[in-house]
Amino acid sequence: MTEINFGGKKVLITGGAGFVGSNVTERVVNSGGKAIVLDDLFSGSLTNITAGIDFEFVEGSVTDMALVSKLAKEADYIAHLAARNIIVSTKNPQNDYEVNIGGTLNVLLAAQEHNVSRVVYTSSASVYGNPRILPITEDERTLTFSPYSVSKLAGENYCHAFYETYGTPVSAVRYSNIYGPKQDPRNPYCGVVSKFIEAIDKNDPPQLHGDGQQTRDFTYVDDAVDGTLLALMSPKAEGAVFNIGTGIETSIISLFEMLAELMGRDINPSYVDRRDIDNIRRRALSIESIRTRLRWTPQVGLKQGLKRTVDWYIQSQK
C-alpha cells in the first residue's frame, strides 16, 4: 500500500460511495485527509463505507453545477470518480452524456474557478477498443466502441484541454477491470468477478458471454486506489494520463476456473450469446509509464486478490 499523507487537506470525492470511490474515501481518511463525498447513490451506497469512517456526505449529482462549485470551493483536491458505468451508458446514452461528459466539465470548471490544487479524473481502458499490440501503452490509438468509452474519452479530452488552455492542474488514470471487496453482486451494475462468486456460491452456473476466451486485465481495488491517489498527489503526474492495470491477460474462462477452485465447487459455466458491450477481444495494459514516473506497481496478484474478494463476500453474507 502506498504511503500518502494528506495532512488534514480536504478531498472532494465524486462518486465516493461507489465501489472504487468508497475505497478511495476510506484511504483518504485513513491517510490523514478530510473527505467530502458527493454521490447521487444511483449505483453507490453509504453501506460501502466502513462504519466509523469520518467523512462529510452530500447527496447530489455532478450534473448540478452550483453544488459542484460549492463543494469545490471547500476542497484542496478533487478525485473525480462519478460516472454512469458501461451497462447503464449503453442503455441510456443521453444520461451517459449528461453525467460522464457534462459532469466532468462541471468538475473542471469548478476546479478552475476555485484554484483546486489537483484534479484526478478516472477514465477507462475501454477507450482503446481492440488494440493492435499488447500490452497497451498510453500512446495506443483510441477507438471507442460504446457510448461509455466515448464519454470517458471526452472527459479525458476536456482534462487535457483545461490543462493546456487554463493551466488547470489535472491528471487522469485509465482503469482496467477493477475488482475486490465492496463490489457487491446485489448491485446490478457490478463486475464479472462478483457475479461469478455469487453464482458459484449458489451453485448456479455462471454465464459466460461468447466463447469465454476473451481476455481482460483484472486489477485489485487497493492497487487501483494507490495509483489514483499517486496521480492526485504527485507533481510528476500533472497533465499526464496513466494506465492502471497489471499487464497480465486473463481469459474469462480461466477467471471462472480460478474462482471455482478457490471456492471448492465443482460446477460448469453456461455459455450464452455475447452482449452489445462484449466487443473487446483482448486486454492487457502496459504500466511502464506509471511505474517509472510515479513508482507504482500492483502489489496484489490475481489469485491473492480473488481470495480476498471471496473472503469478503462470504463474510458479507453472514
Known catalytic residues are 148
Residue 100: C-alpha distances to residues 89, 91, 199, 233, 301 (Å): 9, 14, 31, 23, 30
Residues 6+ apart with CB under 8 A from 66: none
Maximum distance among all alpha carbons in the chain? 58
Q: What b/e readout covers 227-266, taking b as 16+ CB neighbours within 10 angstroms?
A: bbbbbbbbeebeebbbbbbbbbbbbbbebbebbbebbeee
In the structure grid, which three cell numbers stand for residue 297, read together? 506497481
Task: Write the single-letter amino acid at 1.
Answer: M
Amino acid in the structure at residue 269: P
Phi-psi region of 249 (alpha: psi -120 to 50; beta: other; left: phi over 0): beta
Q: Kindly report the length of the chain.
A: 318
* Local structure of 288: helix, strand or coil: helix
